[in-house]
């Protein structure tokens, strides 16, 4: 067919080829769209690594970029431990794990119920993990969990009185790794252990000024059981949904760099160098549920606009699969098995730190101490709330048992709903 078209063009002229000019006009536009899409999709992971036998703990692994990371690592033979807020008997998580196992031909996919919005839930899991002799194998921790409050929406807080963005994006990771730190330090010296933090460039707009201005102890007097839903314990200087998210990401970046120093300073009993490396991974803007919620302002009107303009978002935003490439690069690149850690990875290459204050030891120390005090106070509030809820539940049970016992007593003495029975002794005497 191409030969026929070419011969027709030579002997009969270009006008003899049907639809030639519309095609020639369309091809450049298609080429431009292709180039835009290729650029927006970002770089692909060039590295490969045998993951068989490696134990990987993942947060946020049931949707978006986290799900793509889980599928890629599982397909390479890794043993995945998903930390999910869903109950293990939840049909969603049961079906999800079954699908991952079938799609990757890997049966080593399990889950643990851990609600990242609850410090108590995190402590319960992490202490159970490290309370093991000999220490459980742990090759990698991938922190993909993320939340964002859409612009214009009300700031939410957890049951322990911590603002939700700060809790899920930062404080949950701080709490989890602080407890799991002994498990990381106890790994054999020949094991390549990596901790991957999911971050984004929005940290450039965050600030940690509130940490140096006020501490949780100074604000403790203002807290009461009536204000457990307030975000007062760590209100940023310019408090808004956007600033709350950016500040949580700046705190995560600062902590990640401090955590690498914390690990590197540990002196092993065998005198080998510390083998745990920290990575900060920026997947870029992707078509994930979180991005969709941000773009739609969390409203039905915004969702309608998003659906109508979806071709544009498909063109300029990465797919979750492409967003996972930088995570896979950080997880598998061989040269990162050596070095001091603390690398920032974006588009499958190292990037420079854009906020010098995040690397300042004074800032890192202040944030670390502030976070420890915040967790201590939040866990106390959470313990009081759980005790209160437990007492209320116990009172309801006792009340229900009392009502049931009273009902049984009335039936035994021959009464029903306070009315005399026809054949009672008093009624017979009256007759």
The answer to whether residue 429 is domain-embedded is no
Residue 386 pLDDT level (bands cut at 50, 70, 90):
confident
- What percent of the chain stands above pLDDT 90? 54
CATH code, 76: 3.40.50.720
> Is 163 found in the same domain as 34?
no
Number of domains in the chain: 3
Phi/psi at 103 (5° precision): -70, -30
Residue 9: pLDDT above 90?
A: no
The answer to whether residue 402 is domain-embedded is no
Per-residue pLDDT averaged across 256-268, rounded? 93
Reply yes or no on whether 249 is catalytic. Answer: yes
> Is 244 found in the same domain as 112?
yes
Residue 217 pLDDT level (bands cut at 50, 70, 90):
very low
The answer to whether residue 391 is domain-embedded is no
Distance CA 374, CA 367 (A): 10
Find the catalytic residue in 154, 226, 228, 249. 249
Residue that finishes a domain, picked among 342, 357, 383: 383
| 246: helix, strand or coil | helix
Q: What is the reported pLDDT for 329?
A: 96
Residue 7 pLDDT level (bands cut at 50, 70, 90):
low
Residue 305: pLDDT above 50?
A: yes
The answer to whether residue 147 is domain-embedded is yes
Per-residue pLDDT averaged across 296-302, rounded? 87
> Is 326 found in the same domain as 238?
yes
Residue 366: pLDDT above 90?
A: yes
Tokens at 23, concatenated: 């095609």
Residue 225: pLDDT above 80?
A: no
> Is 298 found in the same domain as 193?
no
Q: What is the reported pLDDT for 413?
A: 73
* Average pLDDT score, the chain: 85
The answer to whether residue 133 is domain-embedded is yes
Per-residue pLDDT averaged across 304-326, rounded? 93
Asked whether 78 and 90 are in contact (CB, 8 A), the reply is no
> Is 103 found in the same domain as 34?
no
The answer to whether residue 103 is domain-embedded is yes
Per-residue pLDDT averaged across 332-344, rounded? 91
Q: What is the reported pLDDT for 238?
A: 52
Residue 221: pLDDT above 50?
A: no
Distance CA 114, CA 111 (A): 9
How would you classify the pairing of strands 79-84 and 109-113? parallel
Residue 397: pLDDT above 90?
A: no
> Is 292 found in the same domain as 273?
no
The answer to whether residue 8 is domain-embedded is yes
> Is 204 found in the same domain as 84?
yes
Q: What is the reported pLDDT for 234?
A: 44
Q: What is the pLDDT of residues 93-146, one digit of tens each?
A: 999 999 999 999 999 999 999 999 999 999 999 999 999 888 899 999 999 999
Q: What is the reported pLDDT for 226?
A: 41
Asked whether 98 and 152 are in contact (CB, 8 A), the reply is no
Task: Mean pLDDT check: name the lowest of 89-98, 238-247, 397-406.
Answer: 238-247
Tokens at 312, concatenated: 């544009």
Asked whether 220 and 377 are in contact (CB, 8 A), the reply is yes
Distance CA 64, CA 49 (A): 23
Distance CA 430, CA 97 (A): 74
Q: What is the reported pLDDT for 220?
A: 47
> Is 302 found in the same domain as 328?
no
Residue 427: pLDDT above 80?
A: no
> Is 260 found in the same domain as 211?
yes
> What is the distance between the terminal CA atoms of the chain, rounded to a whole angstrom?
114
> Is 158 found in the same domain as 301?
no
> Is 140 found in the same domain as 31?
no
Q: What is the reported pLDDT for 71?
A: 96
DSSP code string of 354-368: S-GGGG-HHHHHHHH
**339 or 416, greater pLDDT:** 339
Give the domain range for residue 299: 284-317
The answer to whether residue 231 is domain-embedded is yes
Residue that finishes a domain, picked among 383, 411, 426: 383
Q: What is the pLDDT of residues 164-196, one digit of tens each?
A: 999 999 999 999 999 999 999 999 999 999 999
Q: What is the reported pLDDT for 222?
A: 45
Task: Mean pLDDT check: name the lowest of 13-22, 219-228, 340-349.
Answer: 219-228
- What percent of the chain stands above pLDDT 70? 84
| 267: helix, strand or coil | coil
Residue 419 pLDDT level (bands cut at 50, 70, 90):
low
> Is 309 found in the same domain as 331?
no
């Amino acid at each position: 067919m191409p030969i026929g078209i070419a011969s027709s063009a030579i002997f009969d002229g270009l006008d003899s080829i049907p639809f030639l000019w519309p095609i020639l006009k369309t091809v450049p536009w298609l080429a431009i769209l292709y180039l835009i899409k290729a650029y927006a999709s970002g770089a692909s992971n060039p590295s490969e690594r045998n993951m068989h036998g490696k134990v990987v703990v993942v947060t946020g692994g049931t949707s978006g970029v986290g799900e793509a990371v889980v599928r890629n690592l599982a397909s390479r033979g890794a043993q995945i431990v998903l930390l999910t807020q869903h109950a293990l008997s939840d049909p969603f998580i049961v079906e999800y794990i079954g699908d991952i196992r079938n799609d990757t031909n890997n049966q080593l996919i399990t889950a643990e119920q851990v609600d990242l919005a609850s410090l108590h839930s995190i402590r319960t899991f992490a202490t159970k993990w490290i309370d093991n002799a000999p220490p459980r194998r742990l090759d990698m921790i991938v922190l993909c969990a993320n939340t964002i409050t859409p612009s214009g929406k009300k700031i939410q807080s957890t049951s322990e009185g911590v603002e939700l963005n700060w809790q899920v994006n930062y404080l949950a990771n701080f709490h989890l790794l602080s407890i799991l730190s002994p498990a990381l330090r106890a790994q054999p010296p020949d094991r390549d252990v990596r901790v991957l933090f999911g971050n984004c460039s929005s940290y450039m707009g965050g600030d940690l000024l509130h940490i140096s201005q006020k501490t949780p102890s100074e604000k403790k007097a203002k807290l009461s059981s009536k204000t457990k839903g307030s975000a007062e314990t760590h209100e940023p200087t310019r408090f808004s949904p956007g600033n709350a998210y950016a500040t949580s990401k700046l705190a995560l970046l600062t902590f990640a760099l401090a955590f690498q120093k914390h690990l590197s300073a540990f002196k092993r009993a065998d005198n080998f160098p510390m083998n745990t490396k920290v990575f900060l991974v920026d997947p870029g803007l992707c078509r994930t549920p979180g991005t969709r919620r941000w773009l739609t302002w969390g409203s039905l009107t915004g969702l309608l606009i998003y659906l109508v303009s979806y071709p544009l978002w498909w063109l300029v935003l990465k797919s979750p699969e492409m967003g996972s490439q930088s995570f896979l690069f950080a997880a598998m690149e061989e040269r990162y098995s050596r070095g001091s850690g603390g690398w920032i990875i974006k588009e499958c290459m190292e990037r420079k730190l854009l906020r010098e204050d995040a690397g300042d030891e004074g800032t890192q120390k202040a944030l670390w101490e502030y976070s420890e005090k915040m967790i201590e106070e939040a866990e106390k509030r959470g313990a009081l709330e759980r005790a209160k809820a437990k007492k209320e539940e116990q009172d309801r049970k006792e009340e229900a048992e009392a009502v049931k016992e009273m009902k049984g007593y009335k039936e035994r003495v021959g009464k029903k709903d306070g009315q005399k029975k026809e054949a009672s002794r008093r009624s017979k005497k009256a007759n």
